[in-house]
Each structure stands twice: as C-alpha cells, then as structure tokens.
Amino acid sequence: MPQEHAKKDRRVVRSQEALKQALLALMSQKSFDAISITEIVESANYNRGTFYAHYENKEALLDDIIDELIRKFLASFRAPYEHQDVFRINELTANSVKIFDHIHQHAELYTTLLRSNVMPNLREKMFLALKEISMDELEYPTTGVNQELLAIYSIHALLGLIFHWVESGFEQSTSYMQEQLILIIQWRPMEVKAKKEG
Amino acid sequence: MPQEHAKKDRRVVRSQEALKQALLALMSQKSFDAISITEIVESANYNRGTFYAHYENKEALLDDIIDELIRKFLASFRAPYEHQDVFRINELTANSVKIFDHIHQHAELYTTLLRSNVMPNLREKMFLALKEISMDELEYPTTGVNQELLAIYSIHALLGLIFHWVESGFEQSTSYMQEQLILIIQWRPMEVKAKKEG
DNA sequence: CCCGTTGTTGTACAGATGTTCAATAACCAT
DNA sequence: ATGGTTATTGAACATCTGTACAACAACGGG
C-alpha cells in the first residue's frame, strides 16, 4: 500500500508536481530569493491562485522538495544498522559512510540547491532529522558526557564535511571523504602551533 | 584614530543606525521574513528612498548588524592565543571556551536573531569567519588528515554546540558548556548500541 | 560663515504579493 | 454515465518592492 494517508486528487498531484519541477528548473538558473511566485506558476502553466491553494509561500514549496530528499537521506543513514543490535567503531562510521553514497547519488539535485543558496535551510532540516533518529535509535556509552550535546556535536561536524564536499563540486572521491571522516574521528588534538605573522 | 576608512557623513551614520535599531526592534517581535522594508523605515521615521540609498534589501541591513557581531565574536576566539606561539590541548580548548563567554555576554541579541529565524544565515557567516582565521592563524599537526577537512569538521561541531545553547534559552551554565566541550573533544567512540524497538 | 557636495524627501510607476470570489472544469464514488 | 465534491481559473484589490527623479535640507572643508 504505497498511499499513506488519504488518496489525493489527481489534479492536486499534477499541480504540485508541476510546481515543484518548475521551481527546481528555475533554481538551477538563479537564486531562490530571486525567483517570484508569478514566475513559478507561469513556468508551470498554472494559475497563481492554484499555487496559493497548496502552499503558503515559495518556502513551503521548497520544503516539499526537501522533505522528500531527506527521507532518502535518512534511509541511507539507517541502512547499516537497521538489522543489527550492536556496533563497534568501524560499523558506526559505516553509517556516515553510506551518507556519502547517497549524496553522490543525488549530486545534481544537491548542486542545484547549493547554486540557489538554500543550503543553510537544507542543513538545518537535515540536522533536525538526523538528531531525532540518532537520539531515538542509537545509544552512546558515555562517561560524564551529555549524550544530546555529543550527538549535536557529531552530527553538525558530519554535515559540515558533507556540505563542504558538495560546495567543492565533488572534487574528492567518495572513498576519500569516507577515509578522511574515519581519520578525523580518530584524531586527537595534541599541540597546535600559531603561525608566524605575514 | 577610531575612524577606519573615509569619515562618514553624520546623516549617513544616523540613518543607518536608526534603520538597524528599527530592524532589531521589529525582529524581537516577529520573523525576519515577515518584516517589510516599508515597516522598517516607518518605524525608524525615515523615507523609503533613504533605505535604498544605503542598502539593496533588508538582508543587506541585517548583514550590517551581523558583521559587527562577528567582529566581536572573532575577537573572543583570538583572545587566548594572540600573544602566544604554541598551544597544548588545554590552551586550545580555551579558545572555544572564550567563545561561550562572548555568546553569553550578547545573549539578548543572539536570542533576538534566533526568534527571528535568521540563525542559519548567521551560522554560515560565523563558520566562514572562523574557518578563515583558523586556517590562516592556526596549524594542526596532522598525520594523513586533511587539514581543511579537519577544520571544517571541528568548527561546525563547535558552532553546533553554541547555537544549541542559544536555542535552549541558555539552560546550562557557561562553565557546564565549557566542560562538556572538553569532554566531547576527548571522547572516543568505542561501541554504540542500537536501542530496542518501541 | 559660505558654498559645493551629498543625503533625504516626496512623488510616481511597473511589477509582485497575498487574499478573496464567483464561474467553470475535472475528479471520484456510486 | 450521473451527480456531488473539489480543484482550477480569471479577475479584482490593497499593499509592498525596486527604481527613478527633481526639490530641498544638512553636512563639512576652507
């Protein structure tokens, strides 16, 4: 049963899909802020009233696109442990490793979102989604470390690497990013030198 | 000599200051997106044309506010090492520790920015600022770890903690956050259990 | 203090936004 | 296929945006 709640009117499905595709097409050409609702509906060949019948504003339309992407993103994170009970360090990092695969798989879409300057929003949503499942579904053996703060720290760090990878235009290979993540997690700060002036 | 570049016309200083204060006042009451330029100038008692004489849009006005905040933010990060040459681990974390002081000192402003939904933008700008100075001014002894990726990872992680603290309404004390940061940096992932269903 | 420079104002305009409404068309269940 | 329901349309409206311009006011150097 693929339909989740109430089966939607075909007209609604058509309209929303056309609006989403129109927005994505425009976003591959210009900044999200520079796109007007009028522009979206004319590109999609719908009436402006139809837009407002389904969405409050263009952010809501973008959210629709992003939410679908995040569902797939979460699935890639869950994949390594959904049939397991206990992880050791190598298996844990395998979680994050799968995420790099997901991103590379949807490189074009992520690049469009980057080009259109909506990454900060996407990042925030991805953080919330990742935090929720990692607090619900994982358990860290901590000794005096606040578990929530640890999760927040780790997830933001991971997302930082991922979005940098997208911003760099996928300069590095997927496996290089995966390697580096593992190295960084195992890295211990010992001594940091201040560079000389100049 | 406090004036940096060209000495500004007093009218300009007055106008820009009034506009910034008006925006901040409005942001403490509603979302940034919900604030119109017309609203800002009427609250500040200026003509709409004056706004456009100084700023392209309201984002540019917000940037003015944020840039000033980031200058202070950076100063708090630099403070621990600006007259030193080499750090050990405790001194390094002292950098970040000073940041918590800065945030707590400007708690009201950060809370206003949070309430008005501009945190993702602020976060991005702070990341770029921190990355620039930590790449320029610090040097990590790495063994196979990409230095840029390490900086990106660490900075995003730190900012994650900081903004969570703001979002929580400063529930925890400054010293608790500082303690936890040190604990987390020293934490090593060993084994992570998946929770039982339900 | 005076005058050239620069900022501010009021007004105007085309386009976008957000909302409402009645008329029409497309849908789904029976 | 028919009818009740719901989506889409076009039109209209007040408000906001971004831009332009001439008239006026405030500034700062000499």
How confident is the prediction along chain B (198 residues), in pLDDT tens digits per residue? Answer: 334 456 789 999 999 999 999 999 999 999 998 899 999 999 999 999 999 999 999 999 999 999 999 999 999 988 877 777 665 555 666 778 889 999 999 999 999 999 999 999 999 999 999 999 888 887 777 678 898 999 999 999 999 999 999 999 999 999 999 999 988 888 776 555 666 554
Å between A182 CA and nearest CA of chain B: 9
pLDDT given for residue A137 in this prediction: 80
Q: Is residue B8 part of a domain?
A: yes
- Identify, with chain letter, the residue nearest to nucleotide C11 (CA–C1'): B49
Helix, strand or coil for residue B87? strand
Interface test with B, best of A88, A191, A196, A197 (most B CBs within 10 A): A191
**Does A118 share its domain with A133?**
yes
Q: Is residue A20 part of a domain?
A: yes
Tokens of B179: 């303690």
pLDDT given for residue B6 in this prediction: 65
Q: Is residue B196 part of a domain?
A: no
Maximum pairwise Cα distance, chain A: 67
**Does B151 share its domain with B175?**
yes
Which domain covers residue A175, as residue numbers? 58-189
Å between A119 CA and nearest CA of chain B: 9
**Does A15 share its domain with A40?**
yes
User: Angle, to 10 degrees, between the axis of helix A37-44 and the axis of helix A10-27?
Assistant: 120
Maximum pairwise Cα distance, chain B: 67
Q: Is residue B176 part of a domain?
A: yes
pLDDT given for residue A198 in this prediction: 41
Within 10 Å of residue B98's Cβ, how many Cβ atoms? 17
C1’ D27 / CA B10, Å: 7
**Does A88 share its domain with A182?**
yes
**Does A73 share its domain with A50?**
no
Q: Is residue A70 part of a domain?
A: yes
pLDDT given for residue B51 in this prediction: 97
**Does A32 share its domain with A73?**
no
**Does A94 share its domain with A129?**
yes
Contact predicate A61/A46, CB 8 Å: no
pLDDT given for residue A4 in this prediction: 46
pLDDT given for residue B198 in this prediction: 40
Tally of domains within chain A: 2
> What pTM was estimated for this model as a whole?
0.88
Spans of chain A, pLDDT less than 50: 1-4, 198
